Amino acid sequence: MHATKALLTAAQILQLDEKEHIHQHNDNAIRLTRSLSEPTGIKSIGVHLVRVQQGRDSTEFHSHQQDEEFIYILSGQGIASIGEEQFQVSAGDFMGFEKNSPAHAMFNANSEDLVYLMGGSRCEIDICDYPRLKRRQFRVNGKREAVNWDDLSPVQPEIN
């Protein structure tokens, strides 16, 4: 039997570098992440094994207009904010966010790490809204730019 990059064994996953990701709009949102998609060559979706320590947010409260996301809790507990509601989540719980879903984020208030599998689509163009910050972020072919909602203005249709 010979090796294939299509398979990551549990032992190989534990050997992957755990990278610290600090969210660009929230200094308290620190994820310790092992990417599972990159070593297997997957490009159009991202799949990551994520660990969030006590007192940390998973991300800034946000929603996507094009990308879809999922989270499957493996261990620990957290508080999931989805739209205007909060939910206690723990091992075995699944969250799926289609495009234009309500804004969402998680917080780990517990001493045990919150560990989950996170994945989603990687559209070439996505618009991400951060309602608590009143900010919109544009991602076009990997390049990100953000603007405050107060600086957005409607564009009049062109006259032909």
Contact status, residue 23 vs residue 61, Cβ threshold 8 Å: no
Domain 17-123 has CATH 2.60.120.10: yes
Cα atoms in the Cβ-side hemisphere of radius 13 Å centred on 88: 4
d(CA 132, CA 71): 21
Contacts of 141-148 with C-beta under 8 Å, sequence gap 24+, read 144/24, 146/24, 146/25
Domain ranges in the chain?
17-123
Give the predicted TM-score (pTM) of the model. Answer: 0.91
Mean pLDDT per 10-residue section of the chain, whose length is 160 residues: 79 95 97 96 96 98 97 98 98 98 97 98 96 97 94 83
Residue 53, amino acid: Q
Supply the pLDDT for residue 42: 94
